[in-house]
Amino acid sequence: MEIIESIEAMRDRSRELRREGKTISLVPTMGYLHEGHLFLMRDGRSRADCLVISIYVNPTQFSPGEDFERYPRDFERDVALAKQAGVDIIFCPTSNDMYPEGYLTYVNVEKMTAELCGLTRPNYFRGVTTICAKLFNIVAPHLAIFGKKDFQQYQVIRQMVRDLNMELEIVGLPTVRENGGLAMSSRNVYLAAQERESALSLYAALKLADDMYRQGERDARVILAEARKIIEERPYTVIDYAKIVSAQSMKEVTRIEGETVFALAVKVGATRLIDNHVFGDSLEI
Catalytic residue among 34, 37, 142, 277: 37
CA angle 264, 156, 200 (to 5 degrees): 20
Strands, E assignment, the chain:
2-4, 24-29, 50-55, 89-91, 143-147, 169-173, 237-246, 260-268, 271-278
Sort 89 into a burial class: Cβ within 10 Å, 0-12 / 13-18 / 19+.
buried
* Active site (annotated) includes residue 37: yes
Dmax of the chain from CA atoms?
58
Element housing 179 (H / E): none
Contact present, 51 and 84 (Cβ < 8 Å) = no
Contact present, 146 and 170 (Cβ < 8 Å) = yes
Q: Which residues pair with 171 in a beta bridge?
A: 145
Quick one: which of 149, 174, 141, 146 has its CA closest to 159? 146
Residues with catalytic roles: 37
